[in-house]
A and B are shown apart, each in its own frame.
Chain A
Amino acid sequence: MSHWIILPIVLPALLAPFILMVIRHHLDLQRIFSVAGTVLLVAITGGLMAHAATGEITVYELGDWPAPFGIVLVLDRLSGLMIAMTAVLALMVLMYAIWSGWDNRGRHFHALFQFQLMGVLGAFLTGDAFNLFVFFEVLLIASYGLMIHGGGGRRLRAGTQYVVYNLVGSTLFLFALGTIYATTGTLNMADLAVKAAEMPADQTALLRVGAVLLLLVFCVKAAVLPLHFWLPASYANAPAPVAALFAIMTKVGAYSILRVYTLVFGPDLELTQGLIGEWLVIAALLTVVVGMVGILGSAYIGRMVAFATIGSTGTLLIAISLFTGEATAAAIYYMIHSTFAAAMMFLVADLIIERRGDTISARPPMTHGGVISILFFIAAIAMAGMPPLSGFIGKLLVLNASRGADHAVAIWAVILITSLVAIIGLARAGSLVFWKAHDTGTKDLPSPEGTPDEPPEADTPSPARLPMVPVFALAGILVALTVFAGPVMTYAEAVSGQLYTPSDYIDAVLNRSPE
Chain B
Amino acid sequence: MNMELLVASAIGVLTAGGIYLLLRQRTFPVIVGLSLLSYAVNIFLFATGRLTVGAPPVLRDGVTIYTDPLPQALVLTAIVISFGMTAVIVMIALSAYLSENDDRIDMTDRVEDDA
Chain A residues packing against B (C-beta within 8 Å): 130, 134, 137, 141, 144, 148, 151-154, 156-161, 163-164, 167-168, 170-171, 174-175, 177-179, 181-182, 233, 300, 449
Contact = CB atoms under 8 A, between A and B. Distances in A.
23 contacts: A130-B74, A134-B77, A137-B85, A141-B88, A144-B88, A148-B92, A151-B99, A153-B99, A156-B99, A160-B92, A167-B82, A168-B22, A170-B82, A170-B85, A171-B37, A174-B45, A177-B45, A178-B44, A178-B48, A178-B74, A181-B45, A181-B71, A182-B49
A98 to B, nearest CB: 25
- Chain B, interface residues (CB within 8 Å), range: 35 or more
Given A157-B100, A164-B105, A174 B78 contact: yes
A174 B74 CA distance: 9
Contacts of B100: 153-154, 156-157
Contacts of B77: 130, 134
A157 B110 contact: no
A159 B45 CA distance: 28
Interface string B9-38: 000000000000010000100100010011
Given A163-B85, A167-B85, A174-B41, A144 B48 contact: no
Contact of B107 (A130, A178, A181, A233): A233
A158 B74 CA distance: 31
Contact of A156 (B50, B71, B74, B92): B92
A171 B95 contact: no
B106 interface: yes
Contacts of B105: 160-161, 164
B44 A175 contact: yes
CB-based closest 4 A-B pairs: A156-B96, A153-B100, A182-B48, A153-B99
Contacts of B99: 151-153, 156
Given A159-B96, A164-B89, 17 more contacts: A134-B81, A141-B84, A148-B92, A153-B100, A154-B107, A156-B92, A156-B99, A157-B100, A160-B27, A168-B22, A168-B34, A177-B74, A178-B48, A179-B48, A181-B45, A181-B70, A181-B71
Contact of A178 (B45, B50, B81): B45
Q: Interface on chain A toward B: helix, strand, loop, or mixed SS? A: helix
Nearest to B81: A137
Nearest to A186: B70
B25 to A, nearest CB: 10
B38 A171 contact: yes
Given A134-B77, A141-B85, A160 B96 contact: yes
A437 B11 CA distance: 59
Contact of A164 (B34, B81, B110): B34
Contacts of B44: 174-175, 178
Nearest to A303: B110
Interface string B41-85: 100110111100000000000000000001100100110011011
A178 B34 contact: no
Interface centre among B30, B48, B113 (most CB of A within 10 A): B48
A413 B88 CA distance: 44
Nearest to A159: B92
A495 to B, nearest CB: 31
Contacts of A161: 105-107
Contacts of B50: 182
Interface centre among A167, A177, A181, A449 (most CB of B within 10 A): A167
A163 B90 CA distance: 10
Nearest to B22: A168
Contacts of A163: 85, 88-89, 92
B102 interface: yes
Contacts of B27: 160
Nearest to B46: A178
A351 B46 CA distance: 50
A157 B41 contact: no
B91 to A, nearest CB: 10
Given A160-B27, A174-B45, A178-B45, A153 B85 contact: no
Interface centre among A164, A171, A179 (most CB of B within 10 A): A171
Contacts of B92: 144, 148, 156, 159-160, 163
A182 B7 CA distance: 15
B78 A157 contact: no
A268 B110 CA distance: 49
Given A156-B92, A170-B85, A300 B107 contact: no
A182 B27 CA distance: 33
B81 A170 contact: yes
Nearest to B93: A160
A157 B113 CA distance: 13
A55 B108 CA distance: 51
A157 B85 contact: no
A149 B84 CA distance: 19
Nearest to A174: B41
Nearest to B102: A157
